[in-house]
Amino acid sequence: MEGSFWVSVLSLFSASLLGGSLALLWKMKNNQWLKLLLSFSAAYLLGLTVLHLFPELYHSDWEYAGWFVIAGFLLQVILDFFSHGVEHGHAHTHDHISGSFLFLVMASLWIHAFIEGMPFGADAHVHAEDVSAAAHGHEHHDHNNPLLLGISMHKITEAFVLASLFLHAGVKKAKAWFLLILFACIAPLGAAFHLFVDSQGWDVEGWWYTAMIGVLIGILLHVSTIILFESEEGHSFNWKKFVMVLLGIVSAGLLV
C-alpha cells in the first residue's frame, strides 16, 4: 500500500472523529462556524467538480460517462430521503428521534461516506485512464490531495450533525462514541475497497474508475448545490456566506 493511501485514510478518519467530538464533548450553542464551513466546503467541492473532475471524466473513452453522473445524483436523492439532510447540515433536533429513524440516517450516511472514500484507494487512479489521456493529448492530473481536503471538511460537518443527533436521541455517551468511530471508518473502508479492486487488476479498461468518479460527481453536485442554494431566513443576503462561497470556488481553481 502506498504512503498516500494511509495519509488519506487517516485524514478521512480524523476529520469524522474531529467533527463528532466537537458535538459530543463541547455543546456549542452558536453553530455559525458550522454554517460557514458548510458553505466553504460545498463551494470548494462544487468548484473542484465542475473545473476539474467533470473535464477529466469526459476525457475518458466511455461514451455514456454522463449517465454515471445522473445515477449518482439520483442515488443521493434517495439517500437524502432516508438521511433527512444530515449531509448538508440538517440536524432536525426539533423532531422526536426514534431508533428506526437513527438507523436509516446512519445506513444512508454509510453508503454516502463509502462512495466518497473510494477515490483515495490508489495513487494513479486507473492505468487505462493515463493511457487514454496520453492517446488524446490530455495531461493527467492527480486530484487526490485537493479532493481529500474537500471531502475531509465535508466529513467534519457531517459527523458533527450526526453526533448532535445521537445526543438529541438520548443515545448513551459510550454508544455514541462507538457509533461515531464506526462512521469514521466507513470512508476509509471505501478507499480500501478501491485499493483491492485496483490491486486485483479488474479495471483493465478503466470502466470502474469512470463509473466511480461519475457517481461521486453526481453525489457532490447534489450535496453542494443543496447547501449553496438553500434560502436564508427572510431571503436576506448573507455576505459572510457569500464570501465563503467565493473563497471555496477560488481555492478549488488554484489548488489543482
Q: How many domains does the chain have?
A: 1
Each residue of 106-135: pLDDT tens digit?
A: 999 999 999 999 999 865 444 444 434 433
State mean pLDDT over 165-185. Answer: 93
Each residue of 152-171: pLDDT tens digit?
A: 999 999 999 999 889 888 89
Please provide the DSSP assignment of the chain as one string.
--HHHHHHHHHHHHHHHHHHHHHHH---S--HHHHHHHHHHHHHHHHHIIIIIHHHHTTSS-TTHHHHHHHHHHHHHHHHHHHTTGGGT---TTS---HHHHHHHHHHHHHHHHHHHGGGG-SS--HHHHHHHHHTTPPP---HHHHHHHHHHHHHHHHHHHHHHHHHTT--HHHHHHHHHHHHHHHHHHHHHHHHHHHTT--TTSHHHHHHHHHHHHHHHHHHHHHHHSPPGGG---HHHHHHHHHHHHHHHHH-
**Per-residue confidence (pLDDT) for residue 233, from 0 to 100:** 54
Give the residue numbers spanning the domain of 208.
3-255
Residue 244 pLDDT > 50: yes
**Per-residue confidence (pLDDT) for residue 124, from 0 to 100:** 44
Quick one: what percent of the chain has pLDDT higher than 70? Answer: 80
